[in-house]
Amino acid sequence: MRHTRIAGILLSAILVGGLAVPAGWAQQDPVKIGVIQPLSGPVAASGNYVRMGTEIARDWINARGGVLGRQIQLVIEDNKSDPKEAASAAEKLIVRDKVPAIMGAWGSSMTLAVMPKLEEYGVPMVVETSSAASITKKGNPWVFRISPPSEMEALGLGKYLGDLGVKRADFLAVNTDWGRGAVAAFGDILKKRGANVGAVEFMEQAATDMSAQITKIRGTGGDTLFLTTSVEQITLVLKQGQEQRLGRKIVTTGGSSSPDQLVRQAGAAAEGTYHILFFLPWFPEAMPDGKLAKAFVDEWTKRGHPFAGLTEGFRGHDGILTIVEAIRTAGKAEAKAIQAALWKVSLMGVNGPIKFAKDGPPGKESGQSQPSIFVVQIKGGKVTLPAFMAKK
Asked if the model's pLDDT at residue 283 lies above 60, the reply is yes
How many whole angstroms separate alpha carbon 96 and alpha carbon 317? 25
Q: How many CB atoms lie within 10 A of CB 20?
A: 8
Res. 23 pLDDT band, cuts 50 70 90: very low
Cα–Cα separations (whole angstroms), residue 9 to 14, 212, 233, 295, 332: 9, 53, 40, 13, 21
Write the pLDDT tens digit of every residue in 177-215.
Answer: 999 999 999 999 999 999 999 999 999 999 999 999 999
On whether both 168 and 301 belong to a single domain, the answer is: no
Q: How many CB atoms lie within 10 A of CB 55?
A: 18
User: How confident is the prediction for the chain on average, in pLDDT?
Assistant: 92
Residue 126 is assigned to a structural domain of this protein: yes
Res. 304 pLDDT band, cuts 50 70 90: very high
On whether both 89 and 156 belong to a single domain, the answer is: no
Say which residues have a Cβ less than 8 Å from residue 121's Cβ, sequence separation at least 6.
91, 94, 95, 335
Q: What is the pLDDT of residue 258?
A: 87
Q: Which residue has the higher pLDDT, 3 or 54?
A: 54
**Which of these three, 277, 299, 314, is where a domain ends?**
277
Residue 380 is assigned to a structural domain of this protein: no
Res. 256 pLDDT band, cuts 50 70 90: confident
Residue 202 is assigned to a structural domain of this protein: yes
Q: What is the pLDDT of residue 224?
A: 97
Among 180, 44, 186, which residue's Cα sits nearest to residue 106?
A: 44
- Give the chain's radius of gyration (CA, Å): 20
Compute the average pLDDT of residues 64-76: 98
Compute the average pLDDT of residues 246-253: 96
Give how many domains the chain has, as a whole number: 2
Asked if the model's pLDDT at residue 266 lies above 90, the reply is yes
Q: What is the pLDDT of residue 388?
A: 84
User: With pLDDT > 90 as the criterion, what percentage of the chain qualifies?
Assistant: 88
Compute the average pLDDT of residues 40-64: 96
pTM of this structure: 0.87
On whether both 216 and 259 belong to a single domain, the answer is: yes
How many whole angstroms separate alpha carbon 325 and alpha carbon 6? 9
Residue 270 is assigned to a structural domain of this protein: yes
What is the bridge-based pairing of β-strands 72-78 and 31-37?
Answer: parallel
On whether both 270 and 309 belong to a single domain, the answer is: no
**Which of these three, 242, 277, 312, is where a domain ends?**
277
On whether both 9 and 101 belong to a single domain, the answer is: yes
User: With pLDDT > 70 as the criterion, what percentage of the chain qualifies?
Assistant: 92
Q: What is the pLDDT of residue 9?
A: 47
Residue 383 is assigned to a structural domain of this protein: no
Among 152, 94, 122, which residue's Cα sits nearest to residue 371?
A: 152
Q: What is the pLDDT of residue 13?
A: 47
Q: Which residue has the higher pLDDT, 392 or 65?
A: 65
On whether both 94 and 11 belong to a single domain, the answer is: yes
Q: What is the pLDDT of residue 389?
A: 81
Residue 373 is assigned to a structural domain of this protein: no
Res. 257 pLDDT band, cuts 50 70 90: confident
Instruction: Residue 213: give its domain's CATH number.
Output: 3.40.50.2300
Q: How many CB atoms lie within 10 A of CB 149?
A: 25
On whether both 192 and 336 belong to a single domain, the answer is: no
Res. 2 pLDDT band, cuts 50 70 90: very low
Compute the average pLDDT of residues 36-42: 96
Compute the average pLDDT of residues 385-390: 84
Q: Give the chain as a 3 state SS string.
A: CHHHHHHHHHHHHHHHCCCCCCCCHHHCCCEEEEEEECCCCCCHHHHHHHHHHHHHHHHHHHHCCCECCECEEEEEEECCCCHHHHHHHHHHHHHHCCCCCEEECCCHHHHHHHHHHHHHHCCCEEECCCCCCHHHHCCCCCEEECCCCHHHHHHHHHCCHHHHCCCEEEEEEECCHHHHHHHHHHHHHHHHCCCEEEEEEEECCCCCCCHHHHHHHHCCCCCEEEEECCHHHHHHHHHHHHHCCCCCEEEECCCCCCHHHHHHHHHHHHCCCEEEECCCCCCHHHCCCHHHHHHHHHHHHHCCCCHHHHHHHHHHHHHHHHHHHHHHHHCCCCHHHHHHHHCCCEEECCCCEEECEEECCCCCCEEECCCCCEEEEEECCEEECCHHHHHC
Backbone angles phi, psi at 367, to 5 degrees: -95, 140
Residue 376 is assigned to a structural domain of this protein: no
- Residue 237 is part of which domain span? 151-277
On whether both 27 and 53 belong to a single domain, the answer is: yes
Q: What is the pLDDT of residue 383?
A: 95
Q: What is the pLDDT of residue 27?
A: 59
Write the pLDDT tens digit of every residue in 99-144.
Answer: 999 999 999 999 999 999 999 999 999 999 999 999 999 999 999 9
On whether both 31 and 164 belong to a single domain, the answer is: no
Residue 218 is assigned to a structural domain of this protein: yes
Cα end-to-end span (Å), the chain: 24
On whether both 108 and 125 belong to a single domain, the answer is: yes
On whether both 126 and 165 belong to a single domain, the answer is: no
Asked if the model's pLDDT at residue 3 lies above 60, the reply is no
